[in-house]
Structure formats: C-alpha cells, structure tokens
Amino acid sequence: MELNLLATQKKRRIGLLGGSFNPAHDGHLHISLEALKRLQLDEVWWLVSPRNPLKSAADLADYPLRMAHAIALTPHPRIRVLGIEHTFKLAYTVDTIRFLQQRHRDTRFVWLMGADNLAGFHRWRAWKAIAGRVPIAILDRAPFALKALHGRFALRFAATRLPAAHAALLANKAAPAWVYLTIPRHPLSATQLRKTLGKDAWVRHTDP
C-alpha cells in the first residue's frame, strides 16, 4: 500500500515530518497544518521512525502502537502517515531523504522540523549532507528559538536562509535553503506527555 502511494505522487510539494511520534499529538498536527499553509505544500508526510538513534529506547512505545495512534490522530486528507523507515530499514534521516528523492524525481520535498530539533541538528548523522539535499523549514517552538538560531546549522548556512515572508518559495529552491517560521505556539510536546502520563501515553492521551 505504501509503495503504491509513493509511486503515484508526481510533481508535488511534500513536507516531510520525521520522528518517533512517541506519542503523536495535537502539536504535530498543528505544525503540519501551519506548514501546509505557510509553505503552500500539497501534502505533509509523517515519517514514523522505529527509533531515534540519539535517544534512549527505554521509554519508547511499541512501533505498531505509535503508528496506529498517529494514523488515528490525522483524519486530514493532506496529511499521510508512513512507515517507510521501518519497512525499508532506514535508520538515518539522510538515508530516508535519499530513498524518497530517488523514487520521486519530479517531487519537491521540504524537511520540516521544530526549533528544538534544529538546536541539536549538528549531532545528526551527515547533517550537512541533509542540508545539501533538501530545503528545510524550521517551525518555532518555545523556548528553543534563540539557541536554534545561534546553533551550528544556522551559522553554517546563514547565507542560504530565506525570509519568512518568502516561505512559499522554499519548496522550489535548490538546497541548501531554509526558513524559520514563527507560528502560533502549541503547548503540547511528546516529552511532556510521557513525563505526565508515562510510556504508554499514546493510550491515555485522547485530545485529537
């Protein structure tokens, strides 16, 4: 089913939101809707990863449950939940992006991330290669803006930053290119939910 979906997407502007979604919550939906609007995307794909190589797996809920909860949370017709990293054994973002670009040469991808992820982006495997392969949109998240905008990525690629007013042009820009979007902030985070509700937060969090 996923192969059929991936094979039929042509000449589209797709935002890629990767993560463990442990659990998926309204904050993910919020930034996806903002990205659809501000970047003028056709769709956003949630890429639910088996695990984050930079985080402990101790508090990670089972993959099928995280997938099921993410799907249940996203009735929006332009948001898709995909498990390609699990299906094709893709452990790192750079491999996932390469995989998708090789199969969708007529599709314009934009990598989406929160400001908290940008602050530690330099710890990702081949982070400079990621920036060189796909435009990146960073969505504001308190209290990480200052740290993110003074981090290694922001300094290294300062000359390729696009003004927020021109965010709709990002998908058509050759990488490296990025934009920082100040958006209405959402109070929820997966970390907060796990600390409050425990490892099985996805079961008890019912705020779709």
Q: Look up the CATH superfamily of 2-201.
A: HUPs (3.40.50.620)
Residue 185 has a pLDDT of 67
Residue 65 has a pLDDT of 93
Those residues with Cβ within 8 angstroms of residue 190's Cβ, 6 or more apart along the chain or in another chain: 20, 21, 22, 23, 24, 25, 27, 201
Chain segment 20-38, per-residue pLDDT in tens:
999 898 989 999 999 999 9
Q: Give the predicted TM-score (pTM) of the model.
A: 0.85
Q: Which residues of the chain, if any, have pLDDT below 70?
A: 1-10, 185-208
Residue 141 has a pLDDT of 80
User: Counting Cβ atoms within 10 Å, is residue 65 exposed (0-12), middle (13-18) or buried (19+)?
Assistant: middle
Query: Measured between alpha carbons, how far is 37 from 84 in angstroms, rounded to an integer?
Result: 25
Residue 186 has a pLDDT of 54
Q: Each residue of 107-116: b (16+ CB within 10 Å) or e?
A: bbbbbbbbbb
Query: Domain-by-domain residue ranges, the chain?
Result: 2-201
How big is the CA angle at 54 (ends 82 and 43), to the nearest 5 degrees?
Answer: 25
Q: How far is CA 55 from CA 8, 52, 59, 94, 146, in A?
A: 34, 5, 9, 17, 23
Those residues with Cβ within 8 angstroms of residue 10's Cβ, 6 or more apart along the chain or in another chain: 104, 106, 107
Residue 187 has a pLDDT of 53
Residue 2 has a pLDDT of 54
Residue 180 has a pLDDT of 96
Those residues with Cβ within 8 angstroms of residue 148's Cβ, 6 or more apart along the chain or in another chain: 115, 116, 118, 119, 138, 154, 180
Q: Let me know: does 86 contact 120? Beta carbons within 8 Å.
A: no
User: Counting Cβ atoms within 10 Å, is residue 179 exposed (0-12), middle (13-18) or buried (19+)?
Assistant: buried
Residue 146 has a pLDDT of 83
Query: Measured between alpha carbons, how far is 163 from 179 in angstroms, rounded to an integer?
Result: 6
Query: Measured between alpha carbons, how far is 86 from 172 in angstroms, rounded to an integer?
Result: 29
